């Protein structure tokens, strides 16, 4: 009993077995490519994990960027913030102020 009749394809005897194996091999190759290929299921799964990590990093960077924007705005508008940085980081004092420096006993 023939299931497929193609006039240009004449398969006789054991040819059907060869045709079946070739078709099965082709399907198996296509399935392997769909799973393990460059754009296959495995690649999509790995890239989803990477994307989730990158989105988390982006969220952290956006929060840090917001903090820096607030600090810049504070430095542009608030004189107390500028004075605090001048005193703490640069060691500056106002004219007429006396500076006392306490040295711990371990460094003497």
Euclidean distance between CA atoms 44 and 52, whole angstroms: 12
Write the pLDDT tens digit of every residue in 58-94: 999 999 999 999 999 998 999 998 898 888 888 888 8
pTM: 0.49
Going from N- to C-terminal start, the domains of the chain cover: 38-94
Write the pLDDT tens digit of every residue in 3-53: 556 666 666 666 777 888 888 999 999 888 888 888 888 888 889 999 999
Contact between residue 24 and residue 18 where contact means Cβ atoms under 8 Å apart: no
Euclidean distance between CA atoms 81 and 75, whole angstroms: 6
Give the number of other Cβ atoms within 10 Å of residue 82's Cβ. Answer: 13
Per DSSP, the three-state class of 69 is helix
């Amino acid at each position: 009993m023939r299931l497929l009749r193609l006039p240009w394809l004449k398969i006789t005897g054991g040819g059907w077995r060869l045709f079946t194996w070739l078709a099965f091999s082709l399907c198996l190759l296509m399935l392997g490519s769909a799973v393990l290929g460059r754009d296959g299921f495995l690649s999509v799964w790995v890239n989803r994990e990477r994307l989730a990590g990158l989105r988390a990093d982006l969220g952290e960077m956006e929060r840090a960027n917001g903090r820096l924007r607030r600090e810049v705005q504070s430095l542009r508008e608030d004189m107390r913030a500028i004075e605090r940085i001048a005193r703490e980081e640069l060691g500056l004092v106002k004219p007429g102020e006396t500076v006392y420096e306490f040295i711990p006993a371990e460094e003497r």
